[in-house]
Copies of this chain bind each other. A is one copy, B any other.
Amino acid sequence: MVTRQTDLTRDKLLQAAFNEIHLHGFQAASIANILRDTGLTKGALYHHFPTKQELGLAVIDEVVSELLEKWIFSRLRESGKPVQTLLKLIDESGRKTELEAIVLGCPLNNLMQEMSPLDDEFKARLNRILSIWQSVVEDALQREKKSGVVRSDVDCHAAALFIVSAWEGCVGIAKSQQSMKNFSLCMKQLRNYVQSLLAVQAK
């Protein structure tokens, strides 16, 4: 049960790799930088991960995935009022104060844009997370459809797809403009779209 030393080293590598990838992308991510940041050496890295690709895949499965799970997926799944929670998440995201989140963008989207056309392993892992995102949003809409909050004529599948796409689009544009003002404005429009799906526009 003791937190074994080896697990700590592995976590340090994963976290440093995540930061390096988040900053430079996967291909331009430098093994040397990761080792410099952690104070470790190649011996340690290649003991835990056979290749750079496997390191990247582990970052996706264990860091990126967990981040989204914690901040978005679980909160939507466990919410009793999922649409309200969705609107809150959109608001929260739009009011992000950390400049880092604006400058560096969404780790998932960054990796998808870079790696999906280049590597099928990456594509599969990334799309798995993306499809979870879509399905939790779709499920949120679907549940509220039954409760009458969401209009009965809404195509929840298509709407969820668009919400996630537009979400990532807003983050991406804000990242390239490096403007949190535009980001807030953009997410506000997304909020308007979501509200346009509701039967009663109030709240």
* Chain A positions near chain B (C-beta within 8 angstroms): 23-25, 27-28, 103-105, 109-110, 112-114, 116-118, 123, 126-127, 130, 157-159, 161-162, 164-170, 172-173, 175-178, 182, 185-186, 188-190, 193, 196
Contact = CB atoms under 8 A, between A and B. Distances in A.
Nearest to A22: B117
B176 A162 contact: no
A175 B25 contact: no
A36 to B, nearest CB: 18
B169 A172 contact: yes
Given A113-B114, A162-B185, 4 more contacts: A27-B27, A113-B175, A116-B176, A167-B169
Contacts of A118: 24
Chain A interface main SS type: helix
A104 to B, nearest CB: 6
Nearest to A169: B169
22 contacts: A27-B27, A103-B117, A110-B113, A112-B172, A112-B175, A116-B175, A116-B177, A117-B175, A117-B178, A127-B177, A130-B176, A157-B185, A158-B185, A161-B182, A161-B185, A162-B166, A162-B186, A162-B190, A166-B190, A167-B169, A168-B172, A168-B173
Contacts of A127: 176-177
